[in-house]
Every structure is written in C-alpha cells, then in structure tokens.
Amino acid sequence: MSVEDVQIQDNQEVELENLNGGKSTEEITKPFNPNEIDVDISTVNLGSLIDQLENDEIDLQPDFQRVTDVWDNVKKSRLIESILLGLPLPSFYFSEDPVSQKLSIIDGLQRICAIRDFVLEKENPLKLEGLQFLKNFDGFTFSQLARPEVKRIKSLKITMNTLRKGTPLDVKYIIFQRVNTAGVPLTPQEMRHALNQGPAAIFIKELADMESFKKTTNYSVESKRMQDRDFVNRFIAFFIGYQDYMGDLDMFLNDKMGELNKMTSEQRDNIRVSFDKAMKCCYEIFKNDAFRKKYSVTDKRKPISKSVYDTLSVNIAWLSDEEQLMLLKNAEAFKTGMIRLFNDERFNFSISTGTGQKYNVDLRFMMVKSLIKEIISL
C-alpha cells in the first residue's frame, strides 16, 4: 500500500480514506437538471447584511468546530480596512433554510464574522490592528468611527447569491461543493450540517455525544470540524439505506441526512437505540481495538478505519438482541475471523483503496455479514 493510499489525520487516530481509488471526485453519479437551480442574485448595501445579522436572520452555525476565530484580528482588521477603502468584496453565498427561514452561509463565513465582530459585538468588539493603509485607524472600534466612515461601511455594495428553498437538496450540495473553495473550506460534514438544519443536525450531534460512541472509539474521534458527526452520519446512512448506495458517498450521506430530517421522533429513537447497542457490543468484543485493522493477535494498534467502522457497526446493529448475545458469547472466534478477513486480499483492498466505490462497499459488507452469520451459528 502506498503512502497516497492511506494518510492519517492530525491526531494520528483516524485513518484518512482513499474513497475513489484515484478516480476523479468530480464524477456525477446521478442525473443533474440545471433547471432545478433557483438562485437569487442581488446587489445590496452592506448595511442590509448587517441588519440581517443583527436581527438573527443569518445562521452563523455557532456549533461549527471551525468556529469564528479561524481569522486572527489582523486579518479581520484588514477586511474592515478594505471596506473603508471602498474595495469590492467577493460574493457571498447563502442557502434558504425551509424550516427556520434563516439564511445558512455557504461561502463567506469568515468575512461575515469579521464584520459582525467589528460592527455588532458590544462586550468585546474588534479593535483594528495591523492596518496597511489607514494606519490612523489602528486601535479603533466601530463606536469610535466618525459618521462618514460608518456611512462608508454601510453603503458598500455587495453581491448576495441565495439558493432558494425550492432548490433540491442534492443540487444545493453540488453547488455548495463548487463554491466552497476560498478561505478555510468547510468539511463535507459541515456542508451537510449547513444544508440539513433541523432535527437531523441535532440528532446526529446527540449520538456523537453518547458515551458508548466515545468509549468504543477510545475518545479519539474529535469533535473538531465535525469529524465525530461524520462517523455518526455514516452509521445512520448505511443503517437506514444501505441498499440505496450507488457509489457517491458524499451525496449518499447528504441524502440520508435529509431523510433523517423527515423521520418521526420515534423512528429516530429506534436508530438511537440501535446505535447505542452496536457501539456497546463492538466495545465488549474488541475493546480499544474496535474499528481498527488488525492483521495478527500481536499486531500494533492502528488508527481507526472509517470503512471498518461503518461495516462492523452497521452489520452488528442489524442483528437482533439474541444474535448480538450469540456474537458476544463467541467473541474470541469473531475476533479471529476478523483477523482472517483483514488478511484476505479482496477484503483488505475494499477497506483500504477506493473505499467509497460501490463494489468495495458491497464486498466488505457482504464478507462481514457472512462471517457474523458463521459465528452466531457456532
């Protein structure tokens, strides 16, 4: 396996996937109708955007772990300096949320947060620093500006591109991917979170905060950049809709998060119970080696593999309580069987290279399902 095949996250605890086996991630796997795109393009004064912020009409996604201080104060200050100089700003992209009626930010979060911190923050407002041209404003807060400067800020023309709420979710996601390139791009899970506000986003966070999940993953899947919610999203998607998977993991997870939003609270509670039982069962069997590749009994502990995680956790969640008890009873035989699978060339390939390709997903799910069936029949 080459270095390109497997990379490790910053915390060295979660293996980065090779989802496409070297194929382009731009490949579209489902029909796309450009007539479904409904975008409102408007030129407004910056003051109008500030009013929307002040009236809580724009969702800044406060629980994003990328938070608002990705930009330091100097970078924020230089944006304000650009506004004072009358320089044009890049376009802002939003998505209308059909539930809350608020605007979710697709692109421009850091710029909007810098403007908010300078203009609207009362307790700890941004003090301008590190200015390049308007050095006489270093140390100023918004309240210290004279009326001409305030007017200059609020009258600056900006372009707002808003995806209307009638635009299909999958189309929004594709557009989101295309424009989400500047600054500090959102992770796929952050994009899904922004586009699927409502019960689904809350529910996924609740599952990510469950002790059974944290314990089974050895507290090594971080909440930063919603990595933990990405794991939960994967479980839910395959658990409720494995048969719908066509080879585009990002779109699949987005679609299933949309379905989760439409479920009843009782249906979501059933998923919660199944998730909790699966996590506890996996921990009882594998302890701190859960969801990690293990090629021998004495093998050094490896990072968590997402493809091992979704295959094991979902297959176990599909079992009845009685079948899970049988699996626990034969835990040693199951662990031995998994080591055998890890050493199987086809299975190892399916969890290591092109892990998002439909053939590999089907293969690893089928092979683990067959092993479990063999073990519970002992």
Domain edges within the chain: 7-30+196-376, 37-171
Residue 5: predicted pLDDT: 35
**What is the C-alpha to C-alpha distance for residues 245 and 325, in angstroms, rounded to an integer?**
29
CB-CB contact of 280 with 212 (8 Å): yes
Element (DSSP H or E) covering residue 158: strand 157-163
H helices present in the chain, as ranges? 46-54, 73-84, 109-119, 147-155, 169-179, 188-195, 199-208, 211-216, 227-241, 249-262, 265-286, 306-317, 321-329, 331-342, 345-350, 358-376
Give ∠ CA 42-187-173 in degrees, rounded to 5: 50
pLDDT digits (tens, 9 = 90+) for 316-327: 999 999 999 999
- Report, as an integer, the average pLDDT of 101-112: 84
pLDDT at 175 over 50: yes
User: Given pLDDT bands bounded at 50, 70 and 90, which one contains residue 65?
Assistant: very low
Both tokens assigned to 127: 């003090």
- Cα angle for residues 140, 142, 144 (degrees, 5° grid): 60
Instruction: Calculate the CA 270 to chain-centre distance.
Output: 23
Residue 292 DSSP one-character state: B
Report whether 114 contacts 79 (CB < 8 A).
yes
* Closest alpha carbon to 90 in 190, 173, 183: 183
Q: What is the CA radius of gyration of the chain?
A: 24
Is the pLDDT at 161 greater than 50? The verdict is: yes
Half-sphere exposure of 311 (CA within 13 A, CB side): 31
How distant, in Å, are the alpha carbons of 11, 76, 136, 222 from that of 65?
A: 15, 19, 35, 10
Residue-wise pLDDT for 209-239, tens only, equals 999 999 999 999 988 888 999 999 999 999 9
Q: What are phi and psi of 133, to 5 degrees?
A: -115, -40
Give the pLDDT of residue 34: 65
The Cα diameter of the chain in Å comes to 82
Pairing of strands 39-45, 58-59: unpaired
- Element housing 105 (H / E): strand 103-107
- The chain-wide mean pLDDT, for the chain, equals 87
Q: How many residues does the chain have?
A: 378
Name which residue leads in pLDDT, 208 or 182: 208
Say if CB 250 and CB 285 are below 8 A apart. no
- According to the model, what pLDDT value does residue 197 have? 75
In three-state secondary structure terms, 44 is strand
